[in-house]
Amino acid sequence: MEIVKHDIKLKDMSNEEIRLWGRTLAKDNVILLKNQNCGKKDLVRIYDSIGRVAKPVDRKTGKKEFFADDDYPQLMRVTNERKDGEKIGIFADKELGWHSNGNARDQGKECSVALYCVKEGTDSVTSFVDMRQAYRDLPDDIKNEVDNIECLYKFKNGTFYDLDDDDKELEMFENRSYYINGVKRKLVYEHPYDKDNGLYFTFHYIQEVYGNTTEWDILNKYLMEHCFQDKYIAHHSWEPGDLIFMDQFHSLHKRNEVKGERLLYRSSMDYRHVFK
């Protein structure tokens, strides 16, 4: 796949210009903008121009989550930094396997994740895989098979992310308060905005499979070998000022183990302001 580079400065664009540009997010799938030089207020304005931005707060107490920025809770700290020995960010330092946003919950129309690099760390690489094109390239018999499959997606520690039992990130990923049993969804998604199809093959999360005629172990092995070919994958080495948008239906991403000081701001949003 290709990470599509756009030579623009979102900070200098009006809200309406950002909205018009935002229609490219689903089409281009993974977009890289270099040297954006954005402050936190700039990032929030940009994301608000695209759609509704998720705010990480506890739905029972209304309390802001530990990884949310103090002034702009829409910005989630992705960092290995600690304060008084405690984590202040998610996805702190360990390797992350293939995943996308909200795999074990009902994500609704939350389509895009944006990552903005403040401090890149050492040898900091994020990889992406194009699940839309991987689905398009399936043979017709396999495509007909996966079109009828439903899966139960549930986080299992030690798969895509390996957390200690007392790690405060673990409760968030297990969705203990709301999605303790995971969530069912079709293996082939229909994108909520552009209505295109692709594979929701976040294999680390798939705990049960329904509607398949081929034994799942055989079909899973086939999909693994097909989807994760080099032609569907791209890699990005981070630099300060990099801003990446990635569609959370059309792509998956993963990351190597973090070294050195690293800080990215992560936000997730829908496309309600750009698809009208």
Reported confidence tier of residue 64, pLDDT bands at 50, 70, 90: confident
Tokens of residue 1, six digits = 């796949």
- Hey, how many other C-beta atoms are within 10 angstroms of the C-beta on 157? 14
- Percent of the chain at pLDDT above 70? 97
d(CA 150, CA 120): 38
Beta strands 206-210 and 86-87, pairing class: unpaired
Give the distance, in angstroms, between the CA of residue 49 and the centroid of all CA atoms in the same chain: 19
- Dihedral sign (CA 39, 41, 42, 44): positive
Identify the pLDDT of residue 180. Answer: 82
Asked whether the predicted pLDDT for residue 178 surpasses 90, the reply is no
Residues 6, 150: Cα–Cα separation, whole Å: 36
User: What's the pLDDT at 58?
Assistant: 67
The residues, any chain, with a CB within 8 Å of residue 25's CB and separated by 6 or more, are 31, 50, 111, 112, 245, 247, 271, 274
pLDDT at 63 (0 to 100): 79
Neighbours of 85 (CB within 10 A): 5
Question: Hey, which residues does 243 pair with through a beta bridge?
Answer: 33, 116
pLDDT tens digits, 113-122: 999 999 999 9
Residue 125 confidence (pLDDT) above 80: yes
pLDDT tens figures, 28-38:
999 999 999 99
Round the average pLDDT of the chain to a whole number and report it: 95
Percentage of the residues of the chain whose pLDDT score is greater than 90: 86
Q: How confident is the model at residue 176 (pLDDT cuts 50, 70, 90)?
A: low
pLDDT of residue 56: 82
Which of 152-156, 171-175, 250-254 comes out lowest in average pLDDT? 171-175
Instruction: Please say whether the dihedral angle defined by the alpha carbons of residues 128, 133, 135 and 138, taken in this order, is positive or negative.
Output: negative
Torsion region of 29: left, alpha or beta (phi above 0 gives left; psi -120 to 50 gives alpha): left
